[in-house]
Amino acid sequence: MRISIFGLGYVGAVSAACLAREGHTVLGVDPDQVKVDLINRGCSPIIESDLEPIIKIGVDGGRIKATSDPTHAVLNSDLSFICVGTPSNGNGSLRLTFVERVSRTIGEALREKEIYHVVVARSTMLPGTVDNVIKPTLEEASGKKAGQDFGLAVNPEFLRESTAVYDFYNPPKTVIGELYKKDGDLLATLYKGINAPMFRTSIRTAEMAKYTDNVFHALKITFGNEVGKICKALGIDSHEVMSIFCQDTKLNLSPYYLKPGFSFGGSCLPKDLRALIYKARSIDVDVPVLNAIFQSNKSQLEQGLRLIMAKGKKRIGVLGFAFKAGTDDLRESPMVELIETLLGKGYDLKIYDRNVNLARLRGANKDFIENRIPHISKLMMNNLEEIIYHSEVLVIGNKSDEFVNIFKELTPDQHVIDLVRIAESIETEAEYEGICW
């Protein structure tokens, strides 16, 4: 199938690479010429495990191209994916600027196209977004009718950053929300080789399914952290407690996200939780548990700060800057807030993160690093040994494999604050303390 993908960020780049790998012809579309050029050179525009070799094979085989010309992409494809960002507004509602812009662009291209074309929303959007924003925008810009002249569907993604390629081929489920059955039929053919249950449903149900997943993941992280703090106060190993809890896969659903650790962050959970809370408030539905999640998440950040400051030391080394290992994503990373708070209190900080260092050279977060947090960027070190030598207190901020091996190098006068449970068993001469264990 000929596929155009609008937006070459995490979701778009991974989808483009994996669909091309399955034999489809993919045209990636993005207004950022740097991303377009990277793709056309066979390079990945993001830091993501296993992605770049797949892109290179696709480009070399003529199955992947990128362009900044949306009309060319629509006219030369059978199906278009919308994979642009849906960040938060200040009040928690979704900013749909990019979705509206892309919908209008696709609609204008559809005006020139005579054959039936299916538009698929893969971006995460609240229920009603397709009906109230995408569909009317497409119809107005194209002068055509959905279901009659073009198709419309929703296909939420279940990709975790740092394991996105694996997740594409091993999803927990495939969800297709369709305006008409023929639209879903075409989309379903893309997933014939994927071994996962497929759910064909309405567009609004598919939109809500993604939010239900993400908000529940946010709740699970906070729940695990609160259990961990109680366990620590009682002298109980919180990870042993949660390991027993997670054996119940019949009632407790899944062990994922149920490990006590640091605050959640990233590009999905905070904004999607905000959006659902805002939606509930707008229709006068009380959601006290959801409202409490951010308060508890902030309290976990404050707990980490208290542990660091209680050591009474000034030289702090932070290991792991992105919100999780294996990615360069700094969007709403709690580590950024922790670092900025410590800087404001006069601490002497040095920071190390291999993937964020790579992102300073290229990648989706290059602009963010250079322009939004240049004061933090200046504190970043390229050498792990140097930061270990500098620090009186080492703070482990994500589960990068290289941090497991630092403990044998530490001295008795050093302290480690572990926010992620880097290993189940720690042997070190340094003073070691976990945030919840």
Q: Is 197 exposed, middle or buried (0-12, 13-18, 19+ CB in 10 A)?
A: exposed
Q: What 8-state DSSP symbol labels residue 409?
A: G
Residue pointed to by tokens 């044998």: 408
CA distances from 387 to 210, 364, 406, 433 (A): 40, 26, 11, 19
Report the alpha-carbon distance of residue 348 to residue 341 in Å, rounded: 12
Q: Which two tokens stand for residue 91?
A: 């009040």
436 in active site:
no
Catalytic one of 18, 83, 231, 268: 268
Q: Which two tokens stand for residue 393?
A: 């207190």
Instruction: Of 169, 120, 123, 116, give the one whose Cα is nearest residue 145.
Output: 116
Q: Are strands 2-6 and 25-29 parallel, antiparallel or unpaired?
A: parallel
The Cβ-side half-sphere exposure at 335, using a 13 Å CA radius, reads 31
289 C-beta neighbours (distance < 10 Å), count: 11
Chain CA centroid to CA 209, Å: 17
Q: Which two tokens stand for residue 386?
A: 């140097």
Helix, strand or coil for residue 23? coil
Phi and psi at residue 4, in whole multiples of 5°? -110, 140
**Residues annotated as part of the active site:** 268
